[in-house]
Structure 1
Amino acid sequence: MPATRRNSTPVSKQFIAWLGLAHFMSGSLLAQDRALIQQAKGTRIPVSGVVQDYTGRELVLRVKNNEPPRRYPRTEVIEVTTDYTSHHNQGRKLFAAGKIAEANREFTAALEEEDRPWVRREILAGQVRCALWKGDYPTAASRFMPIVESDPETFHYNLVPLNWANDLPPANVKFEARGWTDPKAPLVSKLIGASWLVTVDENADEAEQILKRLARESDQRIQRLAQMQMWRVKLRQSKQIDPHEISRWQQFAEQLPVELRGGSYFVIGQASKQGQDFERAARAFLWLPLVYDSDRWLAAHACFEAADSLSALGDHNQAGSLYSEVVFRFGDTPWGRPAETAWKALKPATREAPSPVPNPPAP
């Protein structure tokens, strides 16, 4: 907040302040934002200035008023810090504390008072997280699409509210998804909509054709996500996926930017489980609750499926541990009650010493 001007300020202090302003206008710029930059030789340097934009491609930072802004590739940016409004800060704190409804209200207030485009994208991302926490995919989509419209290369793609399971979508999502796939809709809207409609019999063929077209798009984020969505189509149409093809899927996923990987492991887990390779399935599913948990409902589903896979292996101790995690961490999701039932059924068998939970491979 700018300092309040007082009429009683002595003339000398006013003159000194004016000199400071003149110096500011002539070359230097008051440090408002801070960035930590990774140089080619491995050295990290702090830089201060005013962030003019921060996208999935680059950081644009004005250090001095009389110089062009400096541009740093996103790959060189370790972190960016700035001053947020009180509503924004409170929203972040409340979300971290699991107070989602309160956090969302704070983010809504923050959005009304913030005019920096890159910070507005952060606030919208906060709202997407709140919606995903509750499994509110229509709201998540409505908040995510403006992020991509503002920054097509956004690093918030880990929040894209796609469907990765092959279950039927909820009625409200199915209704909204038909609008998202409108021919005039943006690419990301079509991608989200098609991901939900591809499991709906009356819309599956059209959704599949949309995904095939998107899989040839020049936008690599859209293209890669659509290609992985097509794995779901193949999984629905096949009784079993060849293990070598599943290995190719995994290699494909491991070459992606981190923010695009999460959902792919769910499909890999499903394919492995369908082929009764339960250990591989558990390893794939565990990526979501352990690492890629932005979509909390998908992480809960994956944790349940990992427990199911370990139970099929006869590892009732670790299956019980994962069922209990679903109950205590994701109990308000649709998998909380089934996990509690399965956990209670396994309890007598879980008194032995537990064996290690299989870890996912290193990224």
Structure 2
Amino acid sequence: MRKAASTSTTARQLGRLAGVAGAVVWLAMVTAAWAQDTVHLASGGRTGGRVIDYTGRQLVLELAGGLRRTIPGDQVVAVETTKTPQEADGDRAAARGDFGAALALYRVARQAEPRVWVRRQLTAKIVWCHRALGQLERACREFLVLIASDPQTPELDCIPLAWLPTPPPVALEQSAEEWVAGNQGPAVALLGASHLLSTAARPRALNRLKQLALGSDRAVALLAVAQTWRTQVATVAPEQLEAWQRAIETMPHRLRAGPYYVLAQGWRNQGQWEQAALALMRIAILYRRHYRLAGQSLWEAGQMLERLDRPEQASRLYRELVGDFSNTPASPQAADRLKELARTEG
């Protein structure tokens, strides 16, 4: 009888332990479900929960128990979340410069992704890929998808603005005319005006940029001002270039790549090769995601260094361009120049 009672007691204890263990497992699963995203804040802190939505205006975070917290968009630095295998593979492909493979993977990931805010981030990555591949019209179309979903997108730095003084393809020029004249929002008007600055519609584009520079969307206004500089690089005075430099330093870091390129053109036209090279190198070092602009910047920085009689330093930049930005239009130029410099040294 004692043995039977002992066995019964043991069974009850095991049952209670199993219940406790089950509760612990359940609690762990709930905690994981409600803390799957990590939000990094501008204050340096971070908070966890499940991101319900994230736009340029605000981030909505659901906490354990169903409570919701709203965080202003300008206080959010980054969000860590679980990635699908396709997105993770896409990131790796983009990191090694295989933008075609990355593009295909991001498209698959976006189609399968149920979270709207993550789909927006994937759309931004798709824009970056099209830009790197030189597919400007497709990049612009995807950007329109992004901005329609979130007019104040925190991914504004992916906007495929024109910074080089080259005319757009005919189809893109026609679309840009519509964007400038339409009412799809300031970011779309900025996109259109930037591509029209190198066309016969330049006066109209410049007028639209000046209007945007006075608008309430600060990020768009800052980029619009920098776009107007493109019309002044041939005549700008050194003191004005210094003012441009100060203006760039007040911009959000993610928006500085294109403005630095315009600043470099101004310094170059003044014969200030060192200053031009420094501005270009900032792009190549800090904004490598701007793949084609970074490649062009390396090429031009090398040219500036050659003017300063620094062929060895120029050669290092050309080698970096050929190695890391091999799929840019500037890469063949750099390869040819390396051969010429090697013959000169020989």
Corresponding pairs, count: 324
Q: Does 1:35 align with 2:35?
A: no
The answer as to 2:82 corresponding to 1:83 is: yes
2:156 is aligned with 1:157: yes
- Structure 1 residues 206, 79: CA separation in 2 closer, same or farther (over 3 Å shift)? closer
Structure 1 counterpart of 2:284: 289
How far apart, CA to CA, are the structure 1 residues paired with 2:42 and 2:145? 32
Aligned equivalents of 2:195 and 2:283: distance in 1? 19
Correspondent of 2:238 among 233, 239, 243: 243
CA contact (8 A) 2:173 2:196 kept: yes
**Rg (Cα) greater in structure:** 2
Percent identity between the two aligned chains: 30
The structure 2 residue matched to 1:259, chosen from 249, 254, 257, is 254
Per-residue CA deviations over 1:34-56 (Å, capped at 9, x if unaligned) read 3255585x6x45x3321112233
Deviations 1:245-288 (A, max 9, x none): 00000100001111211100000000000110000000001111
- TM-aligned CA distance change 1:172 to 1:335, over 3 Å: farther
Partner amino acid, structure 1, of 2:60: V
What does the per-residue CA deviation read over 1:136-156, in whole Å, with 9 as the maximum and x for residues that have no partner?
Answer: 111111112232333333221
Matched, 1:213 2:211: yes
Which has the larger displacement, 31-40 or 92-101? 31-40
Residue 55 (structure 1) aligns with = 55
Alignment of 1:91-130 (within 5 A): 91-130=90-129
Q: Which range moved further: 224-233 or 288-297?
A: 288-297
Point out where structure 1 has 5 or more consecutive residues left out of the alignment.
1-11, 352-363
For residues 333 and 34 of structure 1, the distance between their equivalents in structure 2, rounded to whole angstroms, comes to 36
Q: Which has the higher helix share?
A: 2
Indicate the residue corresponding to 1:308 in structure 2: 303
Tell which has more relative contact order, 1 or 2 (C-alpha 8 A, sep 6+): 1
Structure 1 stretch displaced more, 288-297 or 248-257? 288-297
Matched with 2:5 is none
Q: TM-score, with normalisation over the residues of structure 1? A: 0.81
State the 1:132 CA deviation. Answer: 1.4
| Offset, 1:195 | 0.7
Match status 1:229 vs 2:224: no
Report what 2:339 is aligned to. Answer: 344
User: What's the CA shift for 1:129?
Assistant: 1.5
CA contact (8 A) 1:35 1:80 kept: yes
Task: Kindly provide the CA deviation profile for residues 220-257 of structure 1, in whole angstroms up to 9, marking residues without a partner as x.
Answer: 1111111110000122xxx4311110000010000111
Q: What CA distance in whole angstroms lies between the structure 2 residues aligned with 1:167 and 1:305?
A: 16
For the 8 Å contact 2:311–2:341, the answer to whether it is kept is yes
- Give the Å deviation of 1:293: 2.3
Which whole-Å CA distance do the structure 1 matches of 2:295 and 2:40 have between them?
A: 36
Between 164-173 and 262-271, the greater mean CA deviation after superposition: 164-173
Cα distance between partner residues in 2 of 1:77 and 1:211? 28
Aligned partner of 2:316 in structure 1 is 321
- Note closer, same or farther for the CA distance 1:72–1:186 as it changes in structure 2 (3 Å cut): closer
Q: Deviations over 1:109-144 (max 9, x none)?
A: 122122212101111011012111111111111112
